[in-house]
Structure 1
Amino acid sequence: MDTSGRPGRAAALRMEGQLHVLRELHGGRIATRAELTTRLGLSRASALEITARLRESALVHEEAAPPDGRRGRPTTRLLPHPEGPLVCAVDIAHETWTVAVVELGGAVLARTTGRITSRRAETVLAAVRRAVSGLLDAWGHRVRALPVSAPGTASGSRIVQASNLQWRDVDLGTLTDDPDLPVLVGNDATLSGIAEVRRGVAAGADVALHLKIDVGLGGILVVNGSPMTGATGGGGEFGHLPFGDPRRRCLCGAHGCWDTEVDGRALARIAWREEAAEPRAAAQRVLAAAEAGDAAATAAVDEVARAFGRGVGGLVNALDPRLVTVSGLATGLLAAAPDAFDDAYRSGLIAYQRTTPPPVRASALGEDGSLIGAAETGFDHILTESGITAWRAR
């Protein structure tokens, strides 16, 4: 080898170029070889070399693009290789679980869903493990990561606390026996936020705040595409800010959590003085009753929307996002009581933010947000130098 290290440097630059192309293709920002040259500023020769290497590695497939009526040499479409790498993404929610096989670019190739009839961790994980095993048997060595979304605080492969499922220190690494298949665990609201920034209504935003109300409230601040998860993975547990009644105890063990003021438990308590055993079902009942004209339900929806709006205003003051995205029950609250939410949101903002407050937008991804976000973290693992090197050496 040349003592200057030039061969090594050249190889690193080639890998960097290939990863750049793969990430742009995965993000939907390029679709043809012509776009590759113009968007990435590559020469035609470099584009040919990169796509040839990716094709030989079963990462990219090329086919003739349909004619567009323009003069000049026809271009080719860049597509995920039909034998390329995949992720097996898992979404564990409060009432259901989903396992999906996803290819480069985000297309779902296979999907299995089940209901959670017992919240015992071993029962839920046994059912999910069977589904994962079946998909791994079907797709084999092409699956390169097992990202998992769960409604709790994640640290490594463990959920250290999921208050509403009553899980403590549950290891999700047991979902596979394959030591070469990394299990990548994340909080559901965090992953929903990642999905919104990469594939949803926050696409392109440099600083975005995402909030998801399900059973409780969670979220994440995403800066330049990366979630701010904190020192131990607990960043984004906004539902446990003390925005609620300090006399009310939360399932997390604290008192006065915002959680207790904004989900289905709050709606049922305010509308009908009920303690909701199933907060999601209770939320839907109250929202439906409000839409039908029930006065108590309407008042409850307004009150909860105001509690949500005040909290969002406080977070905007503290975090200064470009925009706020919401999912889960939050989208229903905004649709049912937009004026109550907006009045509370704006009144909670410091003066300079009120001039042009960050817009609050409903999710474009709906219930699939956390699953899509999980798949994104799987491809973040694959689309690295070590991930591509391992794929080529498989």
Structure 2
Amino acid sequence: MDHSRADGHATDSMSRGGSAGVPADQATVRRSNLALVLRHVSACGPCTRSAVAAATGLNKATVTSLVSELQARGLVKEMGPQHAGSVGRPGVALALDGSRVGALGMEVNVDYIAAIATDLAGRVIIDRRIGFDAMGSGPERSLDELARMAERIVADLDRLGITPAGITVAVPGLIDATTGTVVVAPNLGWRGVAVTERLSHANIAADIPVAVDNDANLAALAEYTSGVAAGTSDLVYLTGEVGIGGGVIAGGRLLGGADGFAGEVGHVVIDPSGESCRCGRVGCWETKVGLAALVRMATPDRAYGTGPQLVRDPEERLAEIEHRRAEGDPRVDAAAAEVGRWLGIGAAMLVNLFNPRVIVLGGYFARLADLIIPAAQQTLARLGMSDAVERCRFAASDLGFGAASRGAAGVVVERALSDPTSISIRTPPTILPSA
């Protein structure tokens, strides 16, 4: 994912579309300038063409031409005259449009499939989730269901006059993003699953690009851009699902690692004498703090893999746990405290490794934060390096189980902002007078 600065200036030479020292052709220069103008309007709009020219260093005639093309692509709109308090004719204000361009983020997880569609400003247009036993259904049936949901949402967007700029799918596992393949997803039982190729056969326009990425990484990006710790340059996000994944933002950038596999914290062995994990090891962190562990301790009669699995969606499982707590079942508080203790043990390692300012707790962690965080904070304070721990806090996400889908949609938006030419021209551009 391109992480250009919000003011539109790329953070490194590779972001500009060419290698250092290699002259860019006119198409590359124009694409870069389109992105520069679009990012400024997105971050600072409404603003006039004159204001854009002053902020970007481009001349007014160039800005006028670029704005005309962005309007033709449905990315920028005019908002009417803007009075800056100075003498003279007011300029016409520009704002990010995106009313005809959307972004679709989807997620396949152990017991649900979810989707969020937004416009280019990040406003949610469609938000759906269905309970689905992806763990027991296998990749083929799961991807068939994912494709059906994608087809329905794309059709719904079409009826609204919105075309998705792309689709990004979040999956809890190791992902080869270049090929759109799930290398391995232990909790789903997937290995070598070509998600992008399967969705290419769905009833979706061929010019809508499809990408795949890790769910925790995408959720971390969502938290960084619009969550409770938005703008925090060093944070760790923990998914709080059946499996536990981590996304690490370091210095304002997602930490991917050599192969993009960084953040698989759920499979760090934390108790060598503990329970078996679906990855084949024993005592992985997620066997202590995953939703399956909480369910097993708090509602053993509803544990994963025992009896008819009528309750699949995590929200329903949590509702059952909260109901039992309200009835005074002491196992709920005890289970949450145990999860919090193990969460603090693992968090101490993360703090020592990454020195984050915030550890954002997503999924069910956030739902039960009042029970889990006190025990986690106490254990972290005892085991972590004192200076680092004193400057780090837990925070409950307010994005719920939709964080990964929202982050996936955000990747699509980021791609459109980075390369406006990826959005088709809808009406022939016209040159408008500069203001």
State the distance in 1 between where 2:269 and 2:207 align. 42
SS in 2 for 1:147: strand
User: What are the ranges of 5 or more consecutive residues in structure 2 without an aligned counterpart?
Assistant: 1-22, 305-310, 427-435
Cα shift at 1:148? 0.6
Cα shift at 1:131? 2.9
Among all aligned residue pairs of Structure 1 and Structure 2, give the percentage whose two residues are the same amino acid: 25
- Tell me if 1:145 matches 2:166: yes
- Tell me if 1:255 matches 2:278: no
Query: Do the aligned partners of 1:145 and 1:378 also contact (CA within 8 Å) in 2?
Result: yes
State the distance in 2 between where 1:357 and 1:287 align. 32
State the distance in 2 between where 1:305 and 1:203 align. 24
Structure 1, 177-186 or 251-260: larger mean CA deviation: 177-186
Write the mapping of 1:106-255 to structure 2, written as runs, cut at 5 A. 106-117=122-133, 119-137=137-155, 139=158, 142-156=163-177, 157-173=180-196, 174-177=198-201, 179-255=206-282
Residues 262 and 366 (structure 1), Cα distance of their counterparts in 2 relative to 1, 3 Å cut? same
State the distance in 2 between where 1:36 and 1:309 align. 53
Residues 246 and 331 (structure 1), Cα distance of their counterparts in 2 relative to 1, 3 Å cut? same
**Equivalent residue, structure 1, for 2:97:** 80
Write the mapping of 1:300-315 to structure 2, written as runs, cut at 5 A. 300-315=335-350
Structure 1, 250-259 or 305-314: larger mean CA deviation: 305-314
**Equivalent residue, structure 2, for 1:62:** 78
Query: Do the aligned partners of 1:321 and 1:358 also contact (CA within 8 Å) in 2?
Result: yes
Cα shift at 1:66? 8.5
Query: Do the aligned partners of 1:90 and 1:98 also contact (CA within 8 Å) in 2?
Result: yes
Query: Do the aligned partners of 2:139 and 2:190 also contact (CA within 8 Å) in 1?
Result: yes
**Equivalent residue, structure 2, for 1:347:** 382
Give the count of matched residue pairs. Answer: 382
Structure with higher RCO (Cα < 8 A, 6+ apart): 2
Residues 135 and 337 (structure 1), Cα distance of their counterparts in 2 relative to 1, 3 Å cut? closer
Structure 1, 235-244 or 266-275: larger mean CA deviation: 266-275
State the distance in 1 between where 2:53 and 2:356 align. 28
**Equivalent residue, structure 2, for 1:373:** 407
SS in 2 for 1:232: coil
Cα shift at 1:126? 1.4
Query: Do the aligned partners of 1:195 and 1:376 also contact (CA within 8 Å) in 2?
Result: yes
Query: Do the aligned partners of 2:218 and 2:404 also contact (CA within 8 Å) in 1?
Result: yes
Residues 99 and 297 (structure 1), Cα distance of their counterparts in 2 relative to 1, 3 Å cut? closer
SS in 2 for 1:261: helix
State the distance in 1 between where 2:109 and 2:319 align. 17
**Equivalent residue, structure 1, for 2:5:** none
Structure 1, 299-308 or 228-237: larger mean CA deviation: 228-237
Supply the AA of the counterpart residue of 1:30. C
SS in 1 for 2:213: strand
| Alpha-carbon displacement from aligned partner over 1:347-372 (angstroms, at most 9, x marks no partner) | 12113224x32122111322221111
SS in 2 for 1:213: coil
State the distance in 2 between where 1:154 and 1:66 align. 47
State the distance in 2 between where 1:75 and 1:371 align. 36
Cα shift at 1:102? 2.6
Query: Do the aligned partners of 2:34 and 2:420 also contact (CA within 8 Å) in 1?
Result: no
Residues 270 and 158 (structure 1), Cα distance of their counterparts in 2 relative to 1, 3 Å cut? same
Cα shift at 1:191? 0.9
| TM, length-normalised to structure 2 | 0.76
| Alpha-carbon displacement from aligned partner over 1:250-303 (angstroms, at most 9, x marks no partner) | 011111100011123323444466671168455554444345543332222111
Query: Do the aligned partners of 1:147 and 1:377 also contact (CA within 8 Å) in 2?
Result: yes
State the distance in 2 between where 1:311 and 1:197 align. 21
State the distance in 1 between where 2:162 and 2:257 align. 33
**Equivalent residue, structure 1, for 2:108:** 92
**Equivalent residue, structure 2, for 1:23:** 39
SS in 2 for 1:21: helix
SS in 1 for 2:165: strand
**Equivalent residue, structure 2, for 1:317:** 352
User: What are the ranges of 5 or more consecutive residues in structure 1 without an aligned counterpart?
Assistant: 1-6
| TM, length-normalised to structure 1 | 0.83
| Alpha-carbon displacement from aligned partner over 1:21-70 (angstroms, at most 9, x marks no partner) | 323555xx3231159938982479375554334223332111127989x6
